[in-house]
Amino acid sequence: MNKVFSHTLFTDFDIDLFKAGKHYRLYEKLGAHLIELNGVKGVYFAVWAPTAQSVSVVGDFNYWTQGEHQLEVRWDSSGIWEGFIPELDKGALYKYKIQSNNGEIATEKSDPFAFYCEKPPHTASVIWDLEHKWKDHNWMENRENHNGLNRPYSVYEVHLGSWKRHISDNRFLTYLEFAEDLVDYVKKMGFTHVEFMPVMEYPYDPSWGYQLVGYFAPTSRFGKPQDFMVLVDKLHQAGIGVILDWVPSHFPDDAHGLGFFDGSNLYEHPDRKKGYHPDWKSLVFNYGRNEVRSFLISNAIFWLQHYHVDGLRVDAVASMLYLDYSRKEGEWEPNIYGGRENLDTISFLKEFNETVYANFKGVQTIAEESTSFPMVSRPTYDGGLGFGMKWMMGWMHDTLDYFQKETVYRKFHQNDLTFSMTYAFTENFMLPLSHDEVVHGKRSIVGRMPGDEWQKFANLRLLYGYMFTHPGTKLLFMGNEFGQSREWNFESSLDWHLNQYPYHEGVKDMVADLNKLYKTQPALYEKQFSPDGFEWINYSDHENAVISFIRKGNNPKEDVIVVCNFTQIVRSNYRIGMSRLGNLTEIFNSDDKKYGGSGVNNPHHLTIEPSPYDGKDYSIELILPPLGTIVLKFS
């Protein structure tokens, strides 16, 4: 095999953009690219390593020998090493052998821009392409109609390694198997979107994918890059959107990864007070370095462009925003204004969101942000961070705390439920019951519910009924939809066998019906982020532990009325105030016998009476089922 030939894919303009932090498609230049040069097929390599003394491409084609195929550094002080190796083909294994100029021993690094990686625990990069004949044209052309903020948005959060495994040997399913089993299941359940916990290549299974090494490569645990494209393609063809967890907050210090890449703090911040994460013992990106910003924003653009994903859920935003996050006094330094905010991060997140929304129609970015940082999901031109949505962590914590209480004590804690409405419209909130709530001794969601088995599942159905009628979009972690009894275990499949039991099957059927209700009732989604879409009927009936409210859309005739009874006592002749006369029909009842409930329901036709109540001119009498959510509509 011939030595390395001089060649470049970079123009002077590319270099200027890179240095300025404005090159948002670096993956087209850096990395390994199959090309033809002067009639000879081979691979062009380019890697950013500004403090390196030398960079060699080593691989299975040269017996991993340093110096056999040495790259040349560009003359323009960009720190980019590049070259063309003829006769190399798709599938070859490679790494970069980097000799730093500070006397450090040469280290072998995986390609930060590799499109494909060896299956862990192996760590080499694989020469690959991104060719795929997409069949999701209809979805992509109409994506705005599926993915808008005024559309139903019900997300099924999935960890691919443990959603389902082969029974015989606990082996992972493949992307192609997910393209059949998962797609069929999500479509049957009626979720509008799937959110995948990180699919980018990661070395350590217990990290659940949140310690990334191959930012541009879907993990090879489940197949090839094109196999993952098939999965996305099939989901789109089934009318299901795809959200990826994205982790720009930190990365592991594995020897083959980004850490100390060229013998210097290249990707991580050189100040340990900013460059090291004490919670996860990982490294933190240097958001003030232009080339790092280009790397990260290019990575976001890459998944949206080449994998057709519809949204990015940005992990651990709070840890990025605050200089003192999980740090004790003396372990952090204030910003130039004396505050605790990380100004470089704020600038980066704004640029990330602006770039995503400017380049792609009908996509969403979603922040997992657990503090009261203002205007996370407000446009940057109004001073916000620019995200489309933000996880409503306060709602999640308060609601689960409330539901864990014995029903006899709930009347003393009604504010835990109603407090969320005091700030529900300050952000575009998504209501999450995520993987974080079913691990580390927290128990499963149904396992937190008080009472005997019937009451536990009645509480679970009540919780989901309340969640799906509360303003905001929805997210359920896999297994929650059928009431998995044990905590989530990333090393094994969900307990699918539980669906043979009536209570579990009942919850699953109810979640499917809730998804249908959410999608077919405009009042539940058209104004889900606006105070115009919500009105309390009564939030102060503490003694009975009952709340009632109206959800509103664009058409007042489509309004729905929601009443929740948080005790196991049937409330007969329960009266609520109404603003107008008419007839109501019960369109959902979490206590329905088909869900495992007791079957307490209301007559088919209910007439509003000219009798003032709850400060309104009219009222109606209802029967409230035990531990139940009912939804009514004008008929």
Q: What is the pLDDT of residues 104-163, one digit of tens each?
A: 777 999 999 999 999 999 999 999 999 999 999 999 999 999 999 999 999 999 999 999
Task: Please report the pLDDT score of residue 303 as a whole number.
Answer: 98
Task: Please report the pLDDT score of residue 2 as a whole number.
Answer: 55
Task: Please report the pLDDT score of residue 5 as a whole number.
Answer: 85
Of 474, 500, 524, the position where a domain reaches its end is 524
> To which H or E segment does residue 82 belong?
strand 80-86
Question: Catalytic site residues?
Answer: 315, 368
Which tens digit of pLDDT belongs to each residue from 436-457?
999 999 999 999 999 999 999 9
Which tens digit of pLDDT belongs to each residue from 403-412?
999 999 999 9
Q: What is the CATH number of the domain that holds 579?
A: 2.60.40.1180
- In this prediction, residues 587-609 reach a mean pLDDT of 96
Specify whether the CB–CB gap between 246 and 314 falls below 8 A.
yes
Q: Is residue 131 part of a domain?
A: no
Which tens digit of pLDDT belongs to each residue from 470-529?
999 999 999 999 999 999 999 999 999 999 999 999 999 999 999 999 999 999 999 999
**Burial level of 329, CB count in 10 A (0-12/13-18/19+)?**
exposed
Shared domain check, 542 and 511: no
Q: Is residue 446 part of a domain?
A: yes
For residue 73, what are the domain limits?
Answer: 12-109
Q: Is residue 4 part of a domain?
A: no
Task: Please report the pLDDT score of residue 106 as a whole number.
Answer: 78
Which tens digit of pLDDT belongs to each residue from 533-580?
999 999 999 999 999 999 999 999 999 999 999 999 999 999 999 999
Both tokens assigned to 235: 């989901």
Q: How many domains does the chain have?
A: 3
Q: Is residue 129 part of a domain?
A: no
Both tokens assigned to 350: 């704004």
Q: Is residue 114 part of a domain?
A: no
Cα-Cα-Cα-Cα dihedral sign, residues 297, 370, 459, 455: positive
Name the nearest CA neighbour of 373 among 435, 314, 298, 285.
Answer: 314
Cα 410 to the center of its chain, rounded Å = 32
Specify whether the CB–CB gap between 301 and 359 falls below 8 A.
yes
Of 488, 507, 524, the position where a domain reaches its end is 524
Task: Please report the pLDDT score of residue 67 as a whole number.
Answer: 86
Interatomic CA distance for residues 457 and 434, integer angstroms: 19
What sections of 60-166 are H helices per DSSP? 137-141, 143-147
Strands 473-477, 154-158: pairing is parallel
- List the Cα angle 122/124/129 in 5-degree steps: 125
% of the chain exceeding 90 in pLDDT: 96
Shared domain check, 142 and 165: yes
Cα 356 to the center of its chain, rounded Å = 16
Q: Does residue 418 surpass a pLDDT of 90?
A: yes
**Residue 103 binned pLDDT confidence (cut-offs 50, 70, 90):** confident
Shared domain check, 344 and 246: yes
Interatomic CA distance for residues 387 and 172, integer angstroms: 34
Shared domain check, 407 and 308: yes
Which tens digit of pLDDT belongs to each residue from 193-207?
999 999 999 999 999
CB atoms within 10 A of CB 170: 10
- List the Cα angle 458/464/468 in 5-degree steps: 150
Q: Does residue 1 surpass a pLDDT of 60?
A: no
Task: Tell me if residue 99 falls in helix, strand or coil.
Answer: strand
The DSSP secondary structure of 511-543, one letter per residue, reads HHHHHHHHHH-GGGTTTTTSGGGEEEEEEEETT
Shared domain check, 544 and 514: no
Shared domain check, 161 and 252: yes
- In this prediction, residues 597-625 reach a mean pLDDT of 96
- pTM value? 0.96
| Residue appearing with tokens 């993952």 | 228
Shared domain check, 544 and 504: no
Q: Does residue 191 surpass a pLDDT of 70?
A: yes
Q: Is residue 2 part of a domain?
A: no
% of the chain exceeding 70 in pLDDT: 100
Shared domain check, 152 and 294: yes
Shared domain check, 542 and 516: no
Which tens digit of pLDDT belongs to each residue from 17-69?
999 999 999 999 999 999 999 999 999 999 999 999 999 999 999 999 988 99
Q: Is residue 604 part of a domain?
A: yes
Shared domain check, 566 and 517: no
Shared domain check, 239 and 220: yes
Q: What is the CATH number of the domain that holds 383?
A: 3.20.20.80
Name the nearest CA neighbour of 543 among 442, 373, 410, 433.
Answer: 410
Give the alpha-carbon dihedral of 478, 484, 487, 488, to 10 degrees. Answer: -30
Name the nearest CA neighbour of 533 among 577, 472, 462.
Answer: 472
- In this prediction, residues 415-424 reach a mean pLDDT of 96
Region class of 433: left (phi > 0), else alpha (psi between -120 and 50), else beta:
beta
**Residue 270 binned pLDDT confidence (cut-offs 50, 70, 90):** very high
Both tokens assigned to 466: 């309340």
Q: What is the CATH number of the domain that holds 48?
A: 2.60.40.10
Shared domain check, 481 and 619: no
Q: How confident is the prediction for the chain on average, in pLDDT? A: 96
Count of all residues that appear for the chain in the document: 635
Of 524, 559, 577, the position where a domain reaches its end is 524
Both tokens assigned to 125: 């990069």
Q: Does residue 369 surpass a pLDDT of 60?
A: yes
Q: Is residue 127 part of a domain?
A: no
